[in-house]
Amino acid sequence: MRNRQIKQVGIVGAGQWGTTLAWLCSLKCEDVRLYDYKPERAKLIQQTRKNKDFTGDFEIPGNVSVHSDLEHVIGSAQIILVVVPSQSMRATAKAISQFCTPSQYLVHGTKGLEQKTHKRMSEVLLEETACLRVGVLSGPNLADEILNGLPAASVIASRFDEVIEGVQNLLSSPRFLVFGNHDIVGVEWVGTLKNILALATGMIHELKLGQNTQALILTRGIAEIELLFKKLGASSETLLGLAGLGDIFATCTSQQSRNFRAGVLLAQGQGAVEVQNQVHATVEGLHTIRAVLDFKDEHKLDLPIIEALGRCAFQGKGALDEVQKILARIPGLEKVV
Amino acid sequence: MTERENSQNPLARFYENRDEVIEDVVQRTLLETLSRSSEVAASSARTFQEKLIAESLEQEFRRLDLSKDALRGVVDQSFWQGIASAFRERDSETDLRPILERIIRYHAEEIAGHFDPKVYKMATLILPNGFNWMFRTLDWKTLWAVFRTLMNEKIDLRRKVHLTGDIQLIKNLSKKGTIVLVPTHFSNLDSVLLGWALFEMGLPPFCFGAGLNLFSNPLLGYFMNHLGAYKIDRRKKHSLYRWTLMNYSSVALENDCHSLFFPGGGRSRSGAPEFVEGNLKPGLLSTVLRAYIRNIQKKKTNPNLYIVPCVISYHVVLEATSLIEEHLKRTGANRFMIDNDESFAPKTIAKFIYNFMRGSSSVNLHFCRPLDPFGNLVSEDGLSRNQAGRILNLPDYITTDGEIGSKPQRDREYGLNLNQKILDRYKQENVVLSSHFIAYVFFEYLLQRFGEGDPLRLFKHQTEQCKLTTDELRTYAVPILKKLQILHEGGGVLLEPVLRSNDFDQVLESAGRNLAVFHTARPILVEGQNVGTEDLRLLYYYHNRLEGYGLAKQTN
């Protein structure tokens, strides 16, 4: 699909990122269809050309149409982009499977794991649909900045070259670079593991332990991710890339990040349930900790930072005590990889 | 087989046109080779071809140096010397195509099998009557004992070999498309049993690839040569050989020949099923997709290929001792071929059959749910459906930018996906026998008690030490049996009836009885209230059959 024009794209999920992707697609594709599960809102967006709930006054271009009829949105699209919350992915995939065909490329832009199964989003898509050519779009992509025309970059990961080429062709522009990667496992995992690091940095920030400690926790946290990567069969290059370090930088340095804020609350002595209630939205980092702790037990891994976060979130342990325990460990040779 | 039956038998039709088949294989392989060389930079195309020839020469001369087959060696030597000489005398203008073609043709001639309907009919008659080909070299005492047993037991393989799974579905699908049977592989007897099973199921003969070593036995070789088997020489790794082999398989599938591959390659050395190691050989399986794409491009009426995984469950494996030794000693792929394999000794085979027919032992061949080339389950009408029940249009998978055709990178990924789906079926439709279960729990118990989790440490112990009471074993085994039963109820595995009961003593009795057959040193010895072993390595081999489900973790 290199250099071929994509004639129709279907985007499932009209949230902030879905709408942003619709705009990016509209720059290259003549027929972009955006799906909103709420008919009234779909109608309103279609009429007003604004998605007030998620993108404020940003004006949606004319070649983007908004619908609540899923078949109309994805039935004849060459590429389907799925941008829904991770816990809605399975239900969405089931709905999609009513209308999609194996000739279509199915790409998601959702970070996180399925809570019940700890499965990656592409695994859910593969389980629920007959599409095999799947991919993930991930990276440090703050939608506001992209909609304001600021430069950004992302990674399309798929085992299939043609999916990578198709999405690059669809989304790449001088203001939005799209890199390709075959390591779909690494890209999906790091997209969710970075939330744990955001929790940790939020916690250190609230404990007022300074930039040095933050750097220490972040660096050793990345080393723990590297250890997990080895067991998961993911590539270290992915961790060092845009979807890895790139996204970690963006998430952990933003105090507006949901997971950073959750880290602050953990440091104040609140448990996972209270944090979740206060943030009013899914805190992916907390679910990811659970998934990692299960995985760690199975593979006998030593992950002191993630374990400490787990104790704070789920066992009511004090954040400062846990940080001190980490600091009390006698370091051997520094191993990052 | 009548003329009418012959015309309905794709394999007979295929081999009637053997010369044309070989020509097709040669021309396809040559074309592919030239097309591959044109994919590299124009200036390197010739170097690419030279490398292919040099690679063939180097590997073939090395193989010939190690070859024990003097007769075949002379013929091969003469051919490869001819190639070497032509290659040496080339100049920059020499067209390398004729040399490439000679090599490919040589391989194609070697690979191509034969099918003789008369031999097929004879084989299907004599096989249920007692494997008598192998008795010719036996002394009269053994022969008489085997004969008497077989007569007394009324020689009923149906009683001994259980065929499970949706057999009718497979029979129906064989009329709607081409079946590709992909069994697990534990023993050299697998091919014989499968051949019998397919006949018993009323399916036409299958085309199958058999290791060249199996053709070295004159009698077995004769049957192999005339029953549609084509030769696979696993020592030949060079590209031209591999490409020729792939094309041969693909041409057979395109000619509607139902085929049988062992996708794991050789027999399992460790005793563990293929899903434990998690990798199947991509080679021959990739020809399924290749054939499917060609069928679609040719607009064939029945383009579909149905992949049928099959799990073979033996209580006792003929070659278990040498296989586990090989597994433990294994140093690399060059030790792939086992010399002096005990399964090749007629006396050993006779003893095995004698014990097998006489004892209570049995073999289970489970035919799993069929898959399409993209790993989707196929339903009774021969169609694939997605998770929502929608009928899938399979050519959609091979459509890129609106065009149907091959795409090497995409098709490789589809191949990996199919491999995984086959492994999933092996795991979910694995028929667990009492012997597997008891060997598993007994070894796991010993491993924790004496081996600190390390089999090698355990092997240092005397077998006399490795004894426990049935009560001890029961305490350890029952929770694992429960876990296995839950897995079975959830569709994660299949259990033989005795394992579905909660009668541990019956399970132990069944395992002890079945594992007592054949091996001189018994892997499990049930004596009164004690359970012991006479051969820890054999016990390890049978234990491995139940690896991959994480069962022992529950009890640890």
- Tell me what ipTM this predicted complex has: 0.90
Nearest CA in chain B to A166: B401
B461: helix, strand or coil: coil
Contact flag B410-A4 (C-beta cutoff 8 Å): no
* Chain A, chain B: beta-carbon pairs less than 8 Å apart: 52
Q: Which residues of B touch A161 (CB under 8 A)?
A: 409-410
Contact residues, chain A, for B409 at CB < 8 Å:
160-162
Provide the pLDDT for residue B253. 96
Contacts of A4 in chain B (CB under 8 A): 401
Helix H, strand E, coil C: the string for chain A is CCCCCCCEEEEECCCHHHHHHHHHHHCCCCEEEEECCCHHHHHHHHHHCECHHHHCCCECCCCEEEECCHHHHHCCCCEEEECCCHHHHHHHHHHHCCCCCCCCEEEECCCCECCCCCCEHHHHHHHHCCCCCEEEEECCCCHHHHHCCCCEEEEEECCCHHHHHHHHHHHCECCEEEEEECCHHHHHHHHHHHHHHHHHHHHHHHHCCHHHHHHHHHHHHHHHHHHHHHHHCCCHHHHHCHHHHHHHHHHHCCCCCHHHHHHHHHHCCCCHHHHHHHHCCCCHHHHHHHHHHHHHHHHCCCCHHHHHHHHHHHHCCCHHHHHHHHHHCCCCCCCCC
Which residue in A80, A128, A160, A295 has the most chain B C-beta atoms within 10 A of its own C-beta, making it the best mutation to test that interface?
Answer: A160
**Between chains, do B387 and A94 touch, taking CB under 8 Å as contact?**
yes
| DSSP state letter for B477 | H
Note whether A132 contacts B: Cβ–Cβ < 8 A: yes
Which pLDDT score is estimated for B355? 65
Q: SS3 of B259, please?
A: strand
Closest CA to B351 of B171, B507, B143: B143
- Find which of A99, A132, A297 to mutate to test the B interface (most B CBs within 10 Å of its CB): A132
Residue of A nearest to B410 (CA): A160
Predicted confidence at residue B155, as pLDDT, reads 56
Chain B residues near residue A103 by CB distance under 8 angstroms: 396-397, 399
Q: For residues A179 and A238, is the Cβ–Cβ distance under 8 A?
A: no
Closest to B413 (Cβ–Cβ): which among A4, A103, A160? A160
Helix (H), strand (E), coil (C) string for B49-78? HHHHHHHHHHHHHHHHHHCCCHHHHHHHHH
* List of chain A residues with pLDDT < 50: 2
Give the sign of the dihedral formed by CA B273, CA B275, CA B276, CA B277.
positive
Instruction: Report CA B131 to chain centroid distance, whole Å.
Output: 20
CB-closest option in B387, B413, B414 to A130: B387
Exposed/middle/buried for residue B539 (C-beta within 10 Å: 0-12, 13-18, 19+) = buried
> Which residue of B374, B392, B400, B414 to mutate against A (max A Cβ within 10 Å)?
B400
State the nearest Cα–Cα gap between B195 and chain A, in angstroms: 34
Which residue in A300, A298, A296 sits closest to A310, CA to CA? A296
Residue B375: the pLDDT is 96
Give contacts of B416 with chain A, Cβ < 8 Å.
159
Place of tokens 């597994």: B327
CA-based nearest residue in chain B for residue A78: B401
Q: Within an 8 Å CB–CB cutoff, is residue A71 touching chain B?
A: no
- Smallest Cβ distance to B396: which of A101, A159, A162? A101
B77 burial via Cβ count (<10 Å: 0-12, 13-18, 19+): middle
**Which positions of chain B have pLDDT values less than 50?**
1, 3-4, 128-138, 331-340, 554, 556
Question: Which letter does DSSP use for residue B379 in this model?
Answer: -
- Are the beta carbons of A160 and B409 separated by less than 8 Å? yes
- The pLDDT of residue B130: 45
> Based on C-alpha coordinates, what's the Rg of chain A?
20
The structural domains of chain A, ordered by start, are 8-182 (3.40.50.720), 185-328 (1.10.1040.10)
* Distance from the B407 Cα atom to the nearest Cα atom in chain A, whole angstroms: 9
**Interchain contact, A97 vs B386, CB within 8 Å:** yes
Cβ pair A127:B414 closer than 8 A: no
Map residue B401 onto helix, strand or coil.
coil
Q: What pLDDT score does B334 carry?
A: 37
Q: Which of B376, B393, B409 sits opposite A161 (nearest CB)?
A: B409
For chain B, which residues lie within 8 Å of any Cβ of chain A, measuring from their own Cβ? 374-376, 384, 386-388, 390, 392-394, 396-397, 399-401, 407, 409-410, 413-414, 416-417
Kindly state whether A97 is in contact with chain B, defined as any CB-CB distance less than 8 angstroms.
yes
Residues of A in contact with B397 (CB under 8 A): 102-103, 132
Find the closest chain A residue to B402 by CA distance. Answer: A103
- Residues of A annotated as part of the active site: 194
Closest-CA distance of chain A to residue B548, Å: 14
B410 and A162: CB-CB below 8 Å? yes
Say which residue the tokens 């804020």 belong to: A261
> A291 — alpha (psi -120 to 50), left (phi > 0) or beta?
alpha
CB contacts, 8 Å: B410 with chain A = 133, 160-162
B532 pairs with which residues across the strands? B525
Please give the pLDDT value at position B152.
56
Element containing residue B403 per DSSP (H, E): strand B403-404
Give A51 to chain B, closest Cα distance, Å: 32
Answer whether B401 sits within 8 Å of A4, measured CB to CB: yes
Beta bridge partners of A156: A137, A180
